[in-house]
């Protein structure tokens, strides 16, 4: 009897996990706003009432999936920051081209490993369920803060204002999400399409990096030498 609470908790966690997995499977072919609670519970094989012991509504299930989908992406962001890119890179980074290749490779690997989650985020980022949209925006905002902090520590950021670094960081985060979504849509066996996506991603990062090197001078020297204070 002393183990009964532990067994019940394990069963509860198992059911919650099953509901999340079922939701993610069903969301592979439809949006969250069109997914019904009974579809999820039928997929798991539990009564609809069991759903409410874990989530108050479908939006809450979606928010939980956001945490799973983007939570593991923090490790990728940290690895990119530690290994470097010509955008978010440490001061002692090596050749910029090699570092950009590394960042793109990490993003592609993440998309391959979390295809269902990436598809979910790509669809629901601008979808019809407000709490889920807000959860995705908040998580991406945290990524932007992480990247901006890393950028601020680099010599290349001399002359950059905090607000400008945050915009730059946002570009890198958006770039990562868009690249992951593009990879997810390309069949694994279509090597030509995947190579094209990776090359486009590298080109975009090089263009952004070029702008980064010139921005402070252009901002101060442009428009008649004015500054926005």
Choose between 219 and 42: higher pLDDT: 42
Buried b (16+ CB within 10 A) or exposed e, 116-144: ebbbbbbbbeebebeebbebbeebbeebb
Choose between 152 and 64: higher pLDDT: 64
What is the C-alpha separation between 119 and 128, in angstroms, rounded? 15
Choose between 31 and 88: higher pLDDT: 31
What DSSP letter does each residue of 137-186 carry, written as one string?
A: HHHHHHHHHHHHHHHHTSGGGTT--HHHHHHHHHHHHHHHHHHHHHHHHS
What is the C-alpha separation between 175 and 156, in angstroms, rounded? 20
Percentage with pLDDT > 90 across the chain: 55
pLDDT tens string 108-123: 999 999 999 999 999 9
Where residue 95 falls among pLDDT bands split at 50, 70, 90?
low
Identify the residue whose tokens are 């932007």. 144
What pLDDT sits at residue 131? 97
Rounded to two decimals, the pTM is: 0.83
What is the C-alpha separation between 119 and 154, in angstroms, rounded? 33
What pLDDT sits at residue 222? 56
Q: Is pLDDT of 68 > 80?
A: yes
pLDDT tens string 159-211: 899 999 999 999 988 998 999 999 988 998 999 999 999 999 999 988 988 88
Token digits of residue 171: 């570009």
Q: Which of the residue ranges 6-15, 73-82, 85-94, 126-135 would you say has the lowest mean pLDDT?
A: 85-94
- Helices (H) then strands (E): counts for the chain: 10, 0
Where residue 85 falls among pLDDT bands split at 50, 70, 90?
very low
Choose between 191 and 96: higher pLDDT: 191
Could you give the C-alpha distances from 202 to 101, 142, 205, in angstroms and in order?
7, 24, 5
What is the C-alpha separation between 133 and 140, in angstroms, rounded? 11
Where residue 215 falls among pLDDT bands split at 50, 70, 90?
confident
pLDDT tens string 124-157: 999 999 999 999 999 999 999 988 988 888 788 8
Does an H or E element contain 43, and which?
A: helix 37-44
Mean of the per-residue pLDDT values for the chain? 85
């Amino acid at each position: 009897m002393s183990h009964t609470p532990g067994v019940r908790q394990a069963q509860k966690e198992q059911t919650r996990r099953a509901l999340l997995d079922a939701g993610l499977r069903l969301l592979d072919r439809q949006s969250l706003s069109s997914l019904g609670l009974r579809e999820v519970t039928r997929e798991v094989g539990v009564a609809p009432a069991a759903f409410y012991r874990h989530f108050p509504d479908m939006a809450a299930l979606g928010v939980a999936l956001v945490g799973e989908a983007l939570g593991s992406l923090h490790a990728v962001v940290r690895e990119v920051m530690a290994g470097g890119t010509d955008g978010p890179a440490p001061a002692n980074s090596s050749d910029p081209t090699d570092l950009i290749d590394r960042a793109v490779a990490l993003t592609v690997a993440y998309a391959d490993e979390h295809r269902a989650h990436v598809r979910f985020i790509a669809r629901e980022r601008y979808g019809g369920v407000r709490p889920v949209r807000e959860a995705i925006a908040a998580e991406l905002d945290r990524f932007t803060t992480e990247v901006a902090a890393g950028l601020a520590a680099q010599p290349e950021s001399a002359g950059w204002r905090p607000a400008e670094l945050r915009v730059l960081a946002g570009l890198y985060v958006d770039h990562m999400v868009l690249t992951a979504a593009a990879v997810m849509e390309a069949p694994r066996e279509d090597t030509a399409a995947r190579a094209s996506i990776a090359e486009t991603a590298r080109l975009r990062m090089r263009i952004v990096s070029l702008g980064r090197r010139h921005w402070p001078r252009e901002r101060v020297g442009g428009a008649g030498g004015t500054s926005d204070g």
